[in-house]
A and B are shown apart, each in its own frame.
Chain A
Amino acid sequence: MLNEPPPQSPARIETVRVTRVETDGRFTRLSFHAPEQAKRALAGQFFQVTCHPADEIDSFHTIPLSPLLNRPFSINRWIEDGFSILFEMVGPGTRRLGASKQGDRITVLGPLGQGLAEIPPHVQHLVLIAGGIGVAAFTAFAQLAQQRGVACSLYYGVNRGTDLALRNPRRKGYQSRLLDEFDSLGCRCALSSMLDGSFFPGTVVDLLERDRQENCVPFGDPVEGILMIGCGPWAMINALAKWAMPYQIPCFLLIEEMMGCGLGICRSCVVPGYDIREDGTKTPRNIAVCREGPLIAAERIDWEKKWE
């Protein structure tokens, strides 16, 4: 509340235009004409997006009542004149947004939270680990890695082969537009599927462990120069954090919690965590994901209390 770091980039409320809608019926990507917002945003930051087109709000400021709250979405990637968000249509808000048309005007608040301002100089390889729709935030990280000339790998775990986002079965390559993009950004992709044999059979963390055992890129012996960033369901990021610890691989997570305001005001999105001083001492406190996250060092989370 009082001891949170200042915002990394100033948030604004603005109405932007949808320039492109891509969908496979389950996942949708909206691109916005928003050059200013895109310039301010960092990989890992998010926007609070109003689910209704702005033109539905009349001059008396009577707003559509359902869904009422804005929905948080990570910046998926930068485009020439703005940025995109990519989401799975899982409920009323994402379905309403998914029905947006090119030319619709949508109100967005952001960029919000803490993202990755820069890849630290000692990092030679950025390793992104996604569970399901957690992949949505990662194109921006791959873009950053490419710009900085840092190697990048994506580990992407799904339940079944058909769960890949932005699928296009007629396409060659990965049969997913999203993965083709990672490919063209020079980001190596490794896939796992837990429930069918489409890809490596197991969880994405099982896949990481296999690659480490076989000393596959990016894992040398010893494992060094790596920065890992994970995003996905709680059970997955917890497993990832546990896995990374013994190898002392720096591990950051993009955390999702139910959000009200997105600004650190309502205290709905807190996770139990710590402040860690340089001498290693930990002071417990609630971390507001929307202000101090979504990008949070794995060791700052009090996993035991989270699972209580």
Chain B
Amino acid sequence: MGMKDNGEFIDMRVDLAGMELRNPVILSSGTWGYGVEAPDIIEQVDSSRLGGIALKGIFYEPRCGNPTPRLAETSGGLLNAIGLEGVGVKAMAEEVLPCLHPRKTRIFVNICGTSREEYARITGELVQKAWDLFDVIEVNISCPNLDCGGMEFGTDPKSAAEVAGAVRKAAEGKPVFVKLAPLVTDISSIALAVAETGAEGLSLVNTYPAMLIDLDRRKPVLAKNFGGLSGPAIKPMALRAVCLVRKALKTHALSTAIIGMGGISSGRDALEFLVAGADAISLGTINFVNPLAYEKILSAMEEIMRDRFAQTGNPEDLRVRFWSGTLTLN
């Protein structure tokens, strides 16, 4: 609960698939590493002001990722093709997660695989070795930067549901969130297929497949030719995805949780995602502009909520969970 204001408390707590989060602000996978890389900056992170952190994605084995350049900037965004350089499940369970403990925030472990079995195997190992050390398994079936695995599972409802089902079975009750690819024919049908497996939540969205060209060299800027676009440039598209999926879930009487993300860089952006139907929001690219952006965005959200309350006098405006899904479509 937050600051006292005109005799009213501002309440940033949200319920995400039955878990209470201190506030709806999460840090996105791949944009805050394993939460251990920059100890001097982490020291400045007040984890009691953070709803959660999604760790950089892992495969079963460690990986060294793609060749460079892996990152390039474009108007209002960036393209990345990191290629999931990561430590693998063993180091995740034995080194990273114990390092993050004790913690005051929710930990999402983000996983990726080249087969349904790999996804299940990573999950099984995490559950077995590190049950107490994390809160959510986030299943990345939407990474655009891999030669095999990742997005191939996220573009078809049937294979998305198969992966989700396999992970759910291996997760033994740990909440499972499935992270969807946005550039698909019909994101709602994939979301529904995943939700029907009983997955607790959806992370919407991953990056949009894209490219940049170096005109002088007539070559792609990124070493892997294509990458994933993130940042403010994708915000309107990501908002639409959240809105469509929430609508579809409602129609099917499903209350699957949604974490909204894609280009959020201000308090306004964050609240727009909630209104569109997200239960929590996640910050990605903006962390590169300012690794402590979450603080400013959270404060800005609170300021907007107070302003709104001052106008309406409605105490629900001071409780962020009541902002979720309040959009009325024309």
Binding site for B on A (CB under 8 A): 1-2, 4, 6-7, 10-13, 50, 59-63, 65-70, 107, 109, 257-261, 263-271, 285-286, 291, 308
Closest CB-CB distance, B323 to chain A, in whole Å? 15
User: Is B304 in contact with chain A by the CB < 8 A criterion?
Assistant: yes
| Interchain Cβ contacts under 8 Å between A and B, 16 examples | A2-B96, A61-B299, A61-B300, A62-B265, A62-B266, A66-B75, A68-B73, A69-B73, A70-B289, A109-B290, A258-B68, A258-B70, A260-B78, A261-B288, A270-B68, A286-B85
- Asked if B85 and A65 make an inter-chain contact with CB atoms under 8 angstroms apart, the answer reads no
| B266 adjacent to A268 (CB under 8 Å) | no
The smallest beta-carbon distance between A1 and chain B, in angstroms, is 6
Q: Which residues of A contact B76 (CB under 8 A)?
A: 65-66, 68
Most buried by B among A1, A50, A65, A67: A1
Taking CB atoms and an 8 Å cut-off, the chain B residues in 68-94 that contact chain A are 68-73, 75-78, 80, 82, 85-87, 91
B64 proximal to A (CB < 8 A)? yes
Given contacts A13-B291, A263-B291, A268-B82, contact A68 B38 (CB under 8 A): no
The answer to whether B34 touches A1, judged by C-beta atoms less than 8 angstroms apart, is: yes
Select which of A10, A61, A308 is within 8 A of B296 by beta carbon.
A61
B contact set with A: CB distance below 8 Å: 30-34, 36-41, 43-44, 56, 64-65, 67-73, 75-78, 80, 82, 85-87, 91, 95-96, 231-233, 265-268, 285-293, 296-297, 299-300, 303-304
| A2 in contact with B87 given A13-B291, A266-B31, A285-B64 (CB within 8 Å) | yes
Interface of A is mostly: loop
Please give me the residue from chain A that is nearest to B295 by CB atom.
Answer: A61
- Known A69-B73, A69-B78, A291-B37; contact A60-B300, beta-carbon cutoff 8 A: yes
With A61-B265, A68-B289, A266-B82 already in contact, the answer to whether A260 and B37 are too (CB < 8 A) is no
Which residue of chain A has the shortest Cβ distance to B95 in the bound complex?
Answer: A2
Point out the residues of chain A lying under 8 angstroms from B56, CB to CB.
267
Out of B36, B78, B285, B297, which one reaches A2, CB within 8 Å? B36
How far, in angstroms, from A62 to B304 measured CA to CA in the complex? Answer: 13
- Which of B37, B70, B268 contacts A268, CB < 8 Å? B70
A1, A258, A265: residue with the most chain B Cβ atoms closer than 10 Å: A265
List chain B residues, Cβ under 8 A from A10: 40, 43
Residues of B contacting A4 in the complex (Cβ-Cβ under 8 angstroms): 37
Verify A258–B36 contact, CB threshold 8 A. no
